[in-house]
Structures are given as structure tokens and as C-alpha cells.
Structure 1
Amino acid sequence: MPRWSLLIHTRLIFASLIFLLSSQVTAAQKEIASTSNKDTIIIGVISSNPTKVFKRTQAFADYVASQLEHRGITSSRIAIAKDIDQMARWLKNGQVDIVSETTFAAHQLNQSANAKFLARRWKSGEAEYSTVFFTSNESGITHFDDLVGKVIAFEDRGSTSAFLIPASILLKRGYELYEVTSPRETPPKNKIGYFFSDEFSSAGGEANMMSWVYGNFVASAAFSNLDWQKEVPSQVKNKLNIYYQSQAIPRAITLVRADLPQELQTDIKEILLSAHQDKQGKRALDKYKDTKKFDSISPSIIQSIEWAGELKELIDSHLTH
């Protein structure tokens, strides 16, 4: 067989396998959306990439189910919602038992579906994170007032630390935001311009944001303190300056549906809090997007969730006007 023919044949096989897996995922989703079995624990996820989510979540779901056999649980399922509104409906209808989401989404699910906060998830090995606003040492910017009439770079419209938090902090302090189409566009003199790096450049991400600030193409940028620590080289940090850091919020919050039997809620919480101490549980957590562990919801965590909820109202109001 010619080499080019073999290559095409291989790609066709690969495409067929992807189609088959996607079909299986879709079929599973239809089954989940239509029924909820008492012997099955259902883990909810909001995502546009079902195949990736199944691979990442299945081991965790299986582990939780295996620890609930004494409650008659014999299997697990993963329910992937297209958006937060669909997830809220599934929680209210009893079609999802557990969901782990960002602090902003967790607050919304608590408000709209009466889902209950169960534990904090140390997602990607971290308990919490915050937003840092940074600028070039040469910019002369030391305060938010100095951003008026200039441009700040955010990452993408769905980013918690690189859009929702920093934009709403500026709105809460009374600044008017104006979306520009590029880092070179000048906003009105009385407003702070902003744009999204992933929409302006295919590369997007923290590297671009950092380089635009470093080269004085934009006045400032904002992303998580974890990205600052991990993604910004030390020689670049020496040329940049953090002039504001927000309060921290949890990396992720795990919730359960409101009408889940209390004994199940108690057992699930105990399973989550002890999973990192169990060999099988630790393996499942590692696959679950490098979750280090779960810990209890403290008053300070509740305060940070409520703070995120206040910020979300501000950003929603801005985006609808």
C-alpha cells in the first residue's frame, strides 16, 4: 500500500473511533438526562468537550460509587451539561447528585438550584487563587486611576481570575469599562479600555498578556497569582510590577443537590475529605485534574463565595448594558 494511502486509511480509522466515542457519550448523556436511578451516583460537569471530561472524571466517579456500596450504590455516571442553566435544571430535577465548579458557578448553582456547598476542592493541586493586576515598571501606573483612558488585557470571557474578578473589581470601584478591538485602540478618556487576548491572537494566554505589558503595548493585564508564579520568568518579573492583588477565592467548590438524602450527603462528604489518604482514592484524585484533596467549607470560604456572587452581579449588569 502506498505511504499516502496508508496515511489516509489510518486517519479514517482514527476519525471513526472518535465518532464512535462521541456517539457513545451522546447516548449516555441522553440516558442521564431522562432518568435518575437510586443505585447510581451521578457526577455533573459543565463542559463543551465531553470526551475529555469523561476521561478526566470517570475514575473519580467510580471511586465515589465504590465507597457507597453500603447505601445500595452499584454504579456511577457522568452528566455533562452544555451550560450552567442546564446543570441547574438537572440538580433541581434530581438528575445530578454531585457537581464541582468554579466559585462563581457554585454561587449561581446555590442560588438558582438550591444546591448545597459540600467541600472545597484543591483543583490542580491548589486550594485557592487570586487575581493580580500588573504593569511595566516604566508605565508609572500605581493605582486604578492611572488606567483611565488606557487599555488593560484580559484573557477570555469565561476566565474567573483573568476577566470576571478583575473587571468586576473595577466596576465595583466605580470605573467605566469600554471594550476595544485591539491593544492599539484608544478608549474614551473617562473609561478603561479592555480586550481579550485569546480573541485578538490565536496564541492568546498569559504569555501574550505578559509580553504586551512588558513591551508597553498595553498599560496593564490581570490574571491569577498562580499564573504569575508559574508562567512569568524571573527576568521578566524584574521588569513588571504588581500594583493590586484581590482577595483569594477557592479553586473549586463541590456541591450536592438539595434533596439528596442526608445520609448520602454525610457519606459523600466523608469520602471526599478522606480520599487523599486512601491509595485508591489518591489515584482517582490524581486523574481528576490533579486534585490534591478536598477540605471542609469554612466561614471564610462562605465569605469568599458570597463576595464572588456580588462581583458576578456587577459583571452581568455590565455585559447586558
Structure 2
Amino acid sequence: MPMFKRIILCFVFSLTWLTASWAQAETLNLGTLNEGIRGQMRIFEPLLTYLEDELEDYGISEVRLVVHPSTQLMAEAISRKEVDIFIDSPMVVAKVAQLSGGVPFLRHWKDGQASYYAVIFTHVDSGITSLDDLRGKRIALEDYDSSSGFIVPAHMLLTAGLRIKKLRAPTSSHNGEEVGYFLTYNDKNTMFAVAAGRADAGATNQRNYLDLMEARPDEFRVIAISERFPRSVLMHRPGLPEALLDELRYTLKVMSTSKNGQSVLKNFQNSAGFDEFAAGSKRTFAPIFEILQDLEDAGIN
């Protein structure tokens, strides 16, 4: 950006914008959790390009994607100001917020959905009709950083008065009153484990379960459904300049009102848009933080 333009912009904005954070604000870093960056880049590229174009006049010359494989590494990156905005499922965002001091500020309608819920399901021939029937059984869960694939269903089991224990391997012997679990690291693996009889039950979100029922009707049954939670959430790092945050909030919220914005949203996770939390951020996340605390108290994190 030419120096004269940068100086003019500095005078247009508030004094907050004139701090050392200006240099950092020239590049806006969006973060998400995943094992590989190439696939995520294909997903996020439409949004990154759109934000670069829309925020150019506000001092943003580049919008980059930062990918880390775990909540701990993402929180550390946010604390180092290497990630400005983090986008992921609500439980994962809450975990990162606890570790980094980040603040959830917008809801993302991923796959056109404002909210979603987790289901625990089993094969119709398993003889299992309730959570209590899982005592001494094994359940397939995705991974520790999955909202609907681990965090929410694990809490559902605890709330039902069940204790859960990690198995060394899916085939490890298991008996007693505890529910044994193993990690599949992928929703499809979870469904296959239940279908193949390697697990007595599994957990996923309702969209994946409906897809499973469409592909293999009458083979599975749901034995428990969670409360609804925001489908996807944006969180900002502590200390992000208010002027930039306000402009970013506005830019994201009005995307769905233009043809270009709608096209970008469609190509980015089949989104319907971004909006505020109807009940406010604090009230929305209070029960989510309680879930994380309950899991921590039970030694599950």
C-alpha cells in the first residue's frame, strides 16, 4: 500500500487505529482446526479473497489462513497474535477461548444451518434402545476436538449417569459398568464402525446421520439427541483493534445481501451467512462452558 494512502487512512480512523496494532492489521489471519492446509485452503479461498477485496480500504492487504491440528496449538497461536479470527464448531471455539482469552462474536450458518445437535445411534439389531443399555458396551467417537463427535456425546453419557473409559484399541476386551470408547478420527469411520459391528454405538451430528439413513434406511436407530448449539462460530483474539473488528463484523453480516456475497457464501461451506447470537454471546456460551467444565471435572478433556 502506498505510504500516502496509509497516512490518509490513519487520520480517517480513530486513535485506536494509530497504535502499533496497525502494522499487524495489514494482514488478517483466519484460523481453523484441521490436519492439512491444502484441503482447507480450497474451502476457505472464496472467503479469504472476498475479505481481502472488502477490507482493502481499511488497511488489510492480505487475508491468510492458518491451520493447526489441535485446540492447544491454535490457542497458543492466538496468544502470540498469529491468528486474529478463529472459526470452528462451538465447543471447539469455547475450548480455544478458555485457553487464549478469545471472544466469540458471530454465528456462522454453515451448510445453511444456524444450529445443529448431536445424536448417539446404534444398529437396529444391537438390542440397545437407551443410553443405559450402553453399560459395558463400546462407542465410536470421532476425536477430542469434535463437538458432535466427542464433546457433546461424552457429556450426554455423563449426564445419564454413565462413566466412560478410553479403550486401548477398538478390539480391546471390555466389560463392566463403564462405556468404553475409541476414536475414529472421522465421521465416516464412526458410521462404518457401527455398521460393521466394531462398535455398539456411535455419535455424529444430525446432518451426517440423515445422510446415513438415506444411504442405508432402516438399519440404525437414534437412542439420544442433544440440545441444539450454534452450527459454527467466529471468535476474535484479545486486543484485536475495535475499528477492524467492527468493520469485519459488518462486512460478514451483509454478505448475504449481495449477489457476489451470496455466491461466495455458497462456495464457502455452503453457507447462508453470518449473524449475531440471538441470545447474546455470553448467554449462548454459558451452557457450553459448563459442558467443558463437567468434562474436565470428570477427567475428560
**2:266 alignment partner in structure 1:** 286
Q: Is the 8 A contact 1:248 1:304 kept in 2?
A: no
Give the 3 Å change call, closer, same or farther, for CA 192–47 of structure 1 in structure 2: closer
Quick one: structure 1 residues 274 and 81, their matched pair in 2 at CA, closer, same or farther if it must change by over 3 Å? same
Q: Does the 8 A contact of 1:107 with 1:306 survive in 2?
A: no
Answer yes or no: is 1:229 the counterpart of 2:216: no
SS at 1:244 equivalent: strand
Counterpart code for 1:208: F
Q: 1:206: how far off?
A: 4.6
- What do residues 24-47 of structure 1 show as CA deviations (whole Å, max 9, x unaligned)? xxxxxxxxxxx9633232222333
Distance 1:272 1:231, change over 3 A: same
Amino acid at match of 2:42: K
Q: For residues 222 and 74 of structure 1, do their structure 2 counterparts lie closer, same or farther at Cα, with a shift above 3 Å needed?
A: closer
Q: Give the Å deviation of 1:128.
A: 2.1
> How has the CA–CA distance of structure 1 residues 208 and 302 changed in structure 2, closer, same or farther, with 3 Å as cutoff?
farther
CA contact (8 A) 1:136 1:219 kept: yes
Aligned position for 1:12: none
**CA distance, structure 1, for counterparts of residue 194 and residue 281 of structure 2:** 30
Partner of 1:104: 91
Unaligned runs of 5+ in 2: 1-21
* 2:25 aligned with 1:38: yes
Q: Using the TM superposition, give the Cα deviation of residue 294 of structure 1 relative to its aligned residue in structure 2, in angstroms.
A: 1.0
CA contact (8 A) 1:40 1:65 kept: no
Are positions 1:250 and 2:237 aligned together?
no
| Bigger Cα Rg | 1
Partner of 1:187: 174
Q: Distance in 2 between matches of 1:211 and 1:82?
A: 28
- Distance in structure 1 (CA, Å) of the matches to 2:131 and 2:191: 23
1:70-89 CA-to-partner distances (Å, cap 9, x unmatched) read 32223322233343233323
1:185 shift after superposition: 5.1
The answer to whether the Cα contact below 8 Å between 2:155 and 2:295 also exists between their aligned partners in 1 is yes
TM-score (norm 1): 0.75
CA distance in 2, matches of 1:87, 1:153: 25
Are 1:71 and 2:58 an aligned pair?
yes
Give the unaligned 5+ runs of structure 1.
1-34
Q: Distance in 2 between matches of 1:36 and 1:316?
A: 39
SS of match in other structure, 1:258:
coil
- Counterpart residue identity of residue 75, structure 1: E
User: Root-mean-square deviation (CA), in Å?
Assistant: 3.0
User: Identity percentage over the alignment?
Assistant: 22
Displacement after TM superposition at 1:272 (Å): 0.9
CA-CA distance at 1:127 after TM superposition: 2.2
Give the TM-score normalised by the residue count of structure 2. Answer: 0.79
Give the match's secondary structure for 2:254: helix
For the Cα contact (< 8 Å) 2:123–2:195, is it kept in 1? no
1:60 aligns with 47
How many pairs align? 280
Alignment of 1:239-278 (within 5 A): 239-278=219-258
Alpha-carbon displacement from aligned partner over 1:219-243 (angstroms, at most 9, x marks no partner): 3322211111112237x44343322
1:120 aligns with 107
1:134 matched to 2:145? The reply is: no
Aligned to 2:68: 81
